[in-house]
A and B are shown apart, each in its own frame.
Chain A
């Protein structure tokens, strides 16, 4: 971390945010003593500006906004290596989930948009069809991310191999899924769920 001093200020300090992360994840950030095992084992740390142990350190110092402004949380693969290896039982994978949810709900300031777009389309697919319709997922991602040529050669190959279905029928019981989405929205409106 040469020449990378961490500038802290009271203005960016937000302890309420840290408490929310702890409540959502069910894991304390204060137990971390910065051994760095999580970052050592993280397959994605090379893609992150704040490796996992620094994400926790920033939370300990109340600097949640610095984490949300970056890409790190969206480059976590949820491989659970950090949670598995933490000697202090900090559930870092759950903390990452909590951070993403808070960023997502606030329509986050993060620069990473492709991962968020893929997540949104994936969840929309569940609500519309009940199961994943992979061809639509890929096509919609290319259209909405403006990468019209992405994996262009792969699509026809996968269709000819039977790996992508052209047509997809909805679940018969699709109304039950809509019910789940609606009831979760209602609970959140009433403040009964995070």
Chain B
């Protein structure tokens, strides 16, 4: 599938979040692929991949759910495009484990009552954009470059870890998101917390964990001078966007902040600490915006930390 010769086309596994709390990721992915003239066809009747809770307590169940989804995906032509970092990680892990471990594969085949289909390439939206569509062609397609927008590219955990599984980029020092941002005309900032965990699914059971970890991420992005954060995972988005006000309420006092502790009042020069709202964008929202897709069809109205003032300020709306 060389771009330019044949129209790129993919089967698509959105995952549960993209049909609910992360709906703007789904909306903007579809809008972006349409704008780029790349085919995207949803796998019919897919199931939940089991995400973290399933593999946490029952690996066989997790592998079986993903194997079932991989066999459902066989019905649709094209490599499997996945937007959610957690679904992506689980599907890739399943392929990796079952190819290596015959006894596990046999158990899974009993569980799903059929052969395990392990050969369809599973690809994250990021690698489709940066590698298959290609950065050069993407740059050519930009209609509205994101000039002056300083973005903290946030990878989180599952896009690159563990090193053998996602095959997306370096596990400690990736650059795929920053490269993509540069192609869109935006300015990626250098910052410390791009690979740190946001607290993920503790948002339900122990939200205090999320407040602490996500606060460190937001603090680090502000300290680096970012206007906003770009994510590629609906769970990271949920924690950083939906809980942002709560985080501010919990950690907003001047000296309780991470960088406040390290640099003290020297950093703030006696003035009020940096408490800016940081809009959280999905990679597909920023890319679609740069492709000239109307902002009304990118799901900005569903986001809690309103991105519109920033976009208006940068003359991107």
Contact = CB atoms under 8 A, between A and B. Distances in A.
Contact of B59 (A97, A163, A171, A192): A97
B61 A26 contact: no
Nearest to A173: B45
A161 B200 contact: no
Nearest to B56: A100
Interface size class of A (residues with CB under 8 A): 35 or more
A164 B204 contact: no
A45 B39 CA distance: 44
A154 B244 CA distance: 12
Contacts of A138: 204
Contacts of B161: 79-81, 83-84
Interface in A158-194: 158, 161-165, 171-173, 176-177, 179-181, 183-184, 187, 192-194
Contact of A123 (B58, B101, B205): B58
B86 to A, nearest CB: 10
Contacts, number: 160
Contacts of B51: 122
B162 A83 contact: yes
A141 B205 contact: yes
Contacts of B20: 132, 134, 163-165
Interface in B30-70: 45-48, 50-61, 64-65, 68
Given A80-B157, A122-B51, A158 B56 contact: no
A176 B47 CA distance: 10
A180 B64 contact: yes
Interface in A137-160: 137-138, 141, 150-151, 154, 157-158
Interface string A70-90: 000001011111011000000
A80 B16 contact: no
A101 B68 CA distance: 22
B58 A180 contact: no
B128 interface: no
A98 B21 CA distance: 30
Contacts of A150: 207
B58 A101 contact: yes
B250 interface: no
Contacts of A163: 20-23, 242, 302
A117 interface: yes
B74 to A, nearest CB: 15
Interface stretch (B110-118, B133-141, B220-228, B279-287): B110-118
A5 B48 CA distance: 45
A29 interface: no
A84 B171 contact: yes
B19 interface: yes
A13 interface: no
Nearest to A181: B61
Interface string B188-227: 0000000011011110111101000100000000000000
Interface in B232-267: 242
Given A77-B197, A77-B199, A104-B57, A44 B209 contact: yes
Interface of A: 24, 26, 43-44, 47, 75, 77-81, 83-84, 91, 93, 97-98, 100-101, 104, 114-119, 122-123, 125-126, 130-132, 134, 137-138, 141, 150-151, 154, 157-158, 161-165, 171-173, 176-177, 179-181, 183-184, 187, 192-194
Give the top 8 A-B pairs by smallest Cβ distance, nearest first.
A80-B161, A132-B16, A118-B205, A122-B53, A79-B197, A79-B157, A119-B53, A104-B57
8 contacts: A77-B200, A81-B161, A116-B57, A122-B53, A131-B16, A161-B304, A163-B302, A181-B61
